[in-house]
Each structure stands twice: as structure tokens, then as C-alpha cells.
Chain A
Amino acid sequence: METPHTEHLSADDWEHVYEPAEDSFLLLDALEADLDFIEKLQPCLCLEIGSGSGVLITALAKRLSHNTLCLATDINPRACIATKRTALHNGARVDSMRNNLASAIRKRCIDLLLFNPPYVVTSDEELESQRLTGETPSTERNLVYSWAGGMDGRRVTDILLEQLDDILSPSGVLYLLLLRENKPDEIIKQLQKLNFKAVKHMERRIPGEHLYILKVTRTSF
């Protein structure tokens, strides 16, 4: 899989939108390593939640070309625009929309879901105070949304996991990025209770962080 070009995004864009980093590249590598599985799955509908600059969903859309429909959501309007521009710039077909997680997508439609959540452990107060600063999104607020994860860095991830049954199609798969501090083993157990099978598909140590990619499918499939 090619890493999409991002030179169309300026320093000003990166002040509002999460710039691809080790976590983004790990997800990209995880997809690359699982291409045989993905090609067999033949996903009709792919969705990236919190697409940021759009590099990940663009790379996937390019690789699967006209055999899939790729959607991207983000709550940050600057990220929605950046995602659309990245897809266009790289000749990929991706539709970008502003949405909270996947709440505007019809139930049980998504065959391949990508989520690089806000995973950094912060105080819940920090997360809350950012939510309550009014309607106008400030630069700082946009970016904080992209990384601040509240207690255990799990606030947003836990909400997504509760909704997963409504999001994934019967054969759907989720690739989820986690940090060791997010307690991946606890998440795997939590997913078992929700009738999902989760495995550590890939992991990588980088200075200061130990990152994991969980691959999640339905137990019944």
C-alpha cells in the first residue's frame, strides 16, 4: 500500500488536524499485512472514524480501487475538509462527512472499520472542559479532540465498542489502534462479552509508547 501524499496540506492545516505519526503508520502497516484477508472479505463499505488528514482511508481506497465505497467521519470540520482534499489529491474515492463516530450511518452496514481513537490518558475534567467551551471550535479544541482520551485513554473507544454491534455488518472487521495504557487485554475480554473476537494483530514499541492494533470480528462469523 502506498503512503498517500500530504504536501497539499499546509502548516496551518496541521495546527487544526492531527498530523500522521507512528500510530497512523502502524495502522497502515497492519492493513498492508492483512491484505489477503481484506481481499477475501471483499468489503463493500469501508469507514474510518476520526479520519483526520485522511491518509489511512485514502491509502485503503486507493488499494481497493473501484471495488469498495470508502467513507470517513470526523467531528472536526477542518479534518473533514483535509480528508476530502487528501483523497482528491491522491486520486482516491472517499466521501468525507462531519459526524460523531458512525451515528449517521445505517445499522450493520460497515464491512471494514478503522479507528485510531483519541487514546492519550488524560483527566476526564480535561476532556469535559474541552467539550463545554461553546459552539465555535478553536484550534486547540479541534486538536485536543484528536488525542485526549480521558480515564485510561478509553472514553471514546469504550463508546465505540458499545456501538460496534450496530455498526459492523455480519462479516465486518474492525482494526483498532490502542496504547498499552488503554489496557488492551481488558478490552479483548470486554469484546468477548459483546460477542466479538479480538486479537492483537500487530504491535510496535516506539519511544515512550507501546502501540497495538486489535483486529476485531464477530464470534458468530
Chain B
Amino acid sequence: MKLSTYNFLTSMAIKGVKVGYPLKLRITKKDLVESEFNPTFIERLLPKLDWSAVHAAAQQAELADDIPAEQPENIAENELLMQKLHHLLFEIDVLEGEMECPETGRVFPITDGIPNMLLNEDEV
């Protein structure tokens, strides 16, 4: 699971959960994959991203120094930050770990890079 994908995940489907993100991410095994830097795409993606989840991902991926806690203005003009965002979002592949619902504590495991977001019938 790439950290770009993590940004779009929510536990909102759980009964009673109001927002459901950012999920609390814990990474136990990750891989680095090279990916072509495409600043135009990142610029288009930015308005869809939840910055608190970008920041949370950076902390878990040991890249906390790269990503500011508050979303800076005019990111697209800051090429260094764009490259760091690219690296964080598309080049880190979470192989093992888990994500926790911020409201209920329900844990979603990540196994072999595949998050299991399936809920039991009594949870929805």
C-alpha cells in the first residue's frame, strides 16, 4: 500500500463513526520503489489530499523532517517539497503494518501490502 492510498482511507463505515480519518498508521515493514516524478499530477492531487494524513504518514515513514505539520501555501512552486511529497506518497510501499480507527480503535491489518478494510456485519 502506497501512502497516497492511505490518504484516502476511512473507517467511516463503522457504525457510529463520524469522520474516520486519518487512521492511525503503524508500519512494521516497508519497501522503497522507484517511481517517475510527475509534479503536474501531484499538483492536481493536492486539493484532494488530507494534509493531516500526509503529515501522519510522514511521521510513520520516518520522514517527519520532510513534511511540515501545516500545509504550506504555493506548494507547487516549491520543487524540493514536491519531490519529498512524491517520495512519501508514491515510493514508500507499506508491506506490513496496521491502521487504527481514530474513534473506535478498530484495527485494520496490512498484510503483504494489502490492507484489509473489510468489516464484520455487526460492525456496520
Does A156 sit within 8 A of B, measured CB to CB?
Answer: no
Neighbouring A residues of B2 by C-beta, 8 Å: 69, 93, 95
Question: Does the CB pair A97–B114 fall under 8 Å?
Answer: yes
Q: Is the CB of A45 within 8 A of B48?
A: yes
Instruction: Please give, as numbers and ranges, the residues of chain B lying within 8 Å of A104 by CB-CB distance.
Output: 9-11, 13, 108, 115, 117
Q: Which of A84, A104, A107, A169 has the most CB of B within 10 A?
A: A104
**Complex formed: what's the CA distance from A66 to B41 in Å?**
7
Q: Are B11 and A68 in contact (CB under 8 A)?
A: no
Interface size class of A (residues with CB under 8 A): 20 to 34
Bound-complex Cα distance A94 to B108 (A): 20
Q: Judge whether B50 and A97 touch: CB under 8 Å.
A: no
Main secondary structure of the interface of B (DSSP, over half): loop
Docked CA distance A65–B90 (Å): 13
Q: Which of B1-26 contact A (CB under 8 A)?
A: 1-2, 4-5, 8-13, 21
Q: Which chain B residue lies CB-closest to A108?
A: B48
Flag whether B79 is at the interface (Cβ < 8 A).
no
**Quick check: A66 and B114 within 8 Å, CB to CB?**
no
Q: Which residues of B contact A98 (CB under 8 A)?
A: 114-118
CB atoms of B5 and A66 under 8 A apart: no
Contact call B44/A42, Cβ cutoff below 8 A: yes
> What's the tally of chain B residues with a CB closer than 8 Å to chain A?
31
How many angstroms between the C-alpha atoms of A103 and B44 in the bound complex? 24
> In chain A, what residue has the closest Cβ to B7?
A106
B114 touches A96 (CB 8 A): yes
Q: A66-B41, A97-B5 given as contacts; is B114 within 8 A of A103 (CB)?
A: no
- Contact partners of B114 in chain A: CB under 8 A: 77, 80-81, 84, 96-98
Given contacts A71-B5, A100-B118, A103-B119, contact A93 B35 (CB under 8 A): yes
Chain B nearest Cβ from A40, distance in angstroms: 13
Q: B48 and A100: CB pair below 8 A?
A: no
Please judge, given known A-B contacts A95-B2, A98-B114, A98-B118, whether A66 and B35 are in contact too, CB under 8 Å: yes
B109: nearest chain-A partner, CB-CB? A98
Tell me how far the C-beta of A111 lies from the nearest C-beta in chain B, rounded to whole angstroms: 9
Residue of A68, A71, A77 near B8 (CB, 8 A) is: A71
A67 touches B48 (CB 8 A): no
Distance (Å) between the CB of B39 and the closest chain A CB? 11
**Across the interface, which residues of B come within 8 angstroms of A84, CB to CB?**
112-114
Chain A residues near B41 (CB-CB < 8 A): 44, 66-68
In the complex, are the beta carbons of B1 and A95 less than 8 A apart? yes
5 new A-B contacts at CB < 8 Å, known A71-B8, A98-B117: A66-B35, A66-B38, A93-B90, A97-B5, A104-B13
Query: Can you spell out 20 A-B residue pairs with CB atoms less than 8 angstroms apart?
Result: A44-B44, A44-B48, A66-B36, A67-B38, A67-B41, A68-B41, A69-B5, A71-B8, A84-B112, A93-B35, A95-B2, A97-B1, A97-B9, A97-B116, A100-B119, A105-B8, A105-B10, A109-B8, A109-B48, A169-B48
